[in-house]
Amino acid sequence: MPEKVMPGPVEDLGGIREAVCIHTRKIYDSCRDKDCIEDLRFYPKMQYVDVINRALSVKGGSAKLLYTYVDVEPVSFNRGFYTVDMRFFYSVTLQAYLSCPAPVTVEGLCVFDKRVILFGSEGNAKIFSSQMSAGGPDAQMVKRANAPIAVVEAVDPIVLDARVMDCCGKRDCDCDLCEVPSFVNSFFDCELSSGDDSRRIYVTLGQFSIVRLERDSQLLVPVYDYCMPDKECSCGSDKEDPCCIFRNISFPVGEFFPPNTVRMPENYEDTKNFCSCCNN
């Protein structure tokens, strides 16, 4: 077994100058997902309720991820594992078609709940810090539980489908709409409505996400040198020659000679643009 490396200068091994201890977050477990979220209830702005009630059909437009609420709880029957509960809030823009050919743009909210189980290990140490909290008293941070931190990374979803359904019967306020945080509501600049019970819109979204559990850790890492930026700061006064930029653009052969077949999109950006064009 090799001898344990201690902090301090080390012999030259591929440019390594020393070994140092750093405090960072270590990833204990992670997963990625590609969710096709079907039949999400669409909550329009109040001003669009009448448009939806008169719409003959709707088509998808675009969607923007506004916020994700994340909660971590231990799994009682499996030590070291935790449930990560997520609630995604989306701003969705759709095209509603009435009797006239030109569609009417409607905007509203969609909510999606997701749960995963990941390994986060166990820890019993109580954590304190002298770090000051902005807007709070200048005191030590309150003692916090030694639980892992959940991190969720997600891109804006792709609108795959949208449809109008006729519904019957009355219903109380939807829980999704009643539990929307106030700062999410502020993105819409007006009140959201559950809509007339006779007409509802359901949306299908495609969501890519990565979820991981992290813990504060002290790690011993090799250091090559101090990180000094190589790029000089630009003041924005330098202007490139537009003709020089144009000369670097490849000749668009495909625009003059269309291909015999059309390639279906394979990556996220191409699929998002493809779905947007098809829906519009």
Q: What are 71-94's pLDDT values in tens digits?
A: 999 998 889 999 999 999 999 999
Instruction: Please indicate, yes or no, if residue 38 is contained in any of the structural domains.
Output: yes
* Domain of 102, in residue numbers: 25-227
Domain count, the chain: 1
**β-sheet bridge partners, residue 127:** 144
Q: How confident is the model at residue 1 (pLDDT cuts 50, 70, 90)?
A: very low
Instruction: Please indicate, yes or no, if residue 81 is contained in any of the structural domains.
Output: yes
User: Which is more confidently placed, 221 or 6?
Assistant: 221
CA atoms of 279 and 276, how far apart (whole Å): 5
Instruction: Please indicate, yes or no, if residue 268 is contained in any of the structural domains.
Output: no
Question: Residue 210: pLDDT above 60?
Answer: yes
For 250, counting Cβ atoms within 10 Å of its Cβ (0-12 exposed, 13-18 middle, 19+ buried), the class is exposed
Instruction: Please indicate, yes or no, if residue 213 is contained in any of the structural domains.
Output: yes
Instruction: Please indicate, yes or no, if residue 187 is contained in any of the structural domains.
Output: yes
Kindly report the average pLDDT of the chain as a whole number: 82
Question: Residue 142: pLDDT above 80?
Answer: no
Q: What value does the mean pLDDT take over residues 12-34?
A: 87
Instruction: Please indicate, yes or no, if residue 15 is contained in any of the structural domains.
Output: no
Share of the chain above pLDDT 90, in %: 36
CA geometry: angle 69, 74, 80, nearest 5 deg: 125
* Nearest residue to 42 via CA among 152, 188, 154: 188
Instruction: Please indicate, yes or no, if residue 245 is contained in any of the structural domains.
Output: no
The answer to whether 60 touches 78, Cβ cutoff 8 Å, is no
Which tens digit of pLDDT belongs to each residue from 186-205?
A: 888 888 887 666 788 999 99
Instruction: Please indicate, yes or no, if residue 85 is contained in any of the structural domains.
Output: yes
